[in-house]
Amino acid sequence: MSLSDSLKSLNDFDINDLDINNAGIWPAPIKAIVVLIVFGLIMGGGYWFFIKDQYVQLDRVEKTEQDLRKKYEEKAYQVANLEVFKTQMVEMEETFGALVRQLPSETEVPGLLEDITNTALGSGLALQEVKLQPEQKRDFYSELPINIRVTGSYHELASFVSSVASLPRIVTLHDLTIKPTGGDNERLDMQVVARTYRYRAGE
């Protein structure tokens, strides 16, 4: 049958004459359209019921793969630098140990007060007060505040502050105030709080 005959039969064909039981006598164009529709339905149904879920699962697997790859790279970096980390840990422990050794124990506090007194006198200052205040507990250490009041010249005060900073024990200075004594303008009165620290091991 030629193409013109097929078109003619298609024009003469009434859609109401379609009988599923006599599909074999349908015009060729109708058969082709039905085949395309059925094929499209099969492909669409196959995608919806089978392939779509596979795509979702594929996306999930790809995301999991990325997470695992990232964790692997992190672990690989840690393993590759394990010796470096160990060396750094040893250095940190040594540094921490050295700092802890600079913190006075309770039995060393009187000696520290004596060192501060001698430092003040050695700087040429007139010592007015060196008084230990109540201990202030922190996370793993305790602060030991010491109120200090001295009188002297500007250079003597500067020498005292520098000498305290050079003590073998950790001592920090806070709340420093300086004012003239009122008599001799070259004499200054300085009040300062020196803080030293005690390691609270096992408390």
Residues 173 and 161: beta-carbon distance below 8 Å: yes
CA distances from 101 to 96, 145, 168, 196 (A): 9, 19, 10, 13
pTM for this model (two decimals): 0.48
Q: What is the pLDDT of residues 145-178, one digit of tens each?
A: 999 999 998 899 999 999 888 887 778 888 989 8
Q: What is the pLDDT of residues 17-58, one digit of tens each?
A: 555 666 556 666 666 776 787 777 777 766 666 666 666 777
Q: What is the mean pLDDT of residues 73-102?
A: 76
Residues 117 and 130: beta-carbon distance below 8 Å: yes
Instruction: Output 82 or 96, whichever has higher pLDDT.
Output: 82
CA distances from 34 to 30, 44, 181 (A): 6, 15, 112
Cβ neighbours of residue 149 under 8 Å, at least 6 residues apart? Answer: 127, 128, 129, 189, 190, 191, 192
- Beta strand 126-132 pairing with 136-137: unpaired
Which residue type is seen at 150? V
At 23 the pLDDT is 58
Give the single-character DSSP code of 172. Answer: E
